[in-house]
Each structure stands twice: as structure tokens, then as C-alpha cells.
Amino acid sequence: MKIQLHTIRIYAYHGCLPEETKIGGHYTVDVTIDTDFSEAAQTDDLNKTVDYCEVFEIVKEEMSIPSKLIEHVGKRIVKSLLNKISRIEKVQVCVTKIAPPMNGDVSAVSITIEEVRLKS
């Protein structure tokens, strides 16, 4: 069972160039969560699933912290989701930088990180 948040649009200040951290840029984040929400589907109880509003707030919080690399931002988002939401069994995060400053015509660049919660 999966919960997906598609194309979370965020303006943020990531990049290796000094102007990127001052001017900022457009980003999107996609999150796919594996969780068992079968009980929530039967009972209509939000407490039996992952609240996607909480997922959005975690993404927004991590994206607000400037980093040089979107790889670093993506890893922070994954780590934070797993640390803060115990119902997540597996998470995949894709961070996309729209119109990166490159010497060429590139519409976007993205990274994808996927992690499975370790069983204790």
C-alpha cells in the first residue's frame, strides 16, 4: 500500500553558486510512502495511517534549510520522515531542481533516494 505526494512545489535556496543561496529557485518534491493503511481504509480513522499533511510539513521544513546539494536535502527529508513518522515502512523521495544554472538548456535535474525502515 502506498501514499504518494506528487509535485510539492517549493521555492528554496540550495546550490553551490553564491547567487543560488541568495536568489533561490524553484523545486518540486515527490514522496512515495509504503505503509499499511488497511485499518484506516475500513475505519475512516486518520490515526491508522500516515497523515500526508504531516509529510508535507516535514518536506517544507527540510527544504527551508539551505544546502549546496539536493542530494543532501533529499537525504535529510528521508531521514526526518523515518524518524518522525513510525508508520512508514519504506519511503522514496525525489527532489527536482527546476531550470538549474548550467551552461546549457536543461529544464530540470533531480535525485531520488529510497530507504526501508530497519526492523528492530
**Side-by-side strand order, sheet with 108-116:** 2-12, 25-34, 90-98, 108-116
Catalytic one among 22, 79, 90, 97? 97
Alpha helices (runs of H) in 30-69, residue ranges in sequence order = 38-43, 52-63
Helix, coil or strand: residue 102: coil
Q: Catalytic: 84? A: no
Neighbours of 29 (CB within 10 A): 26
Positions annotated as catalytic residues are 97
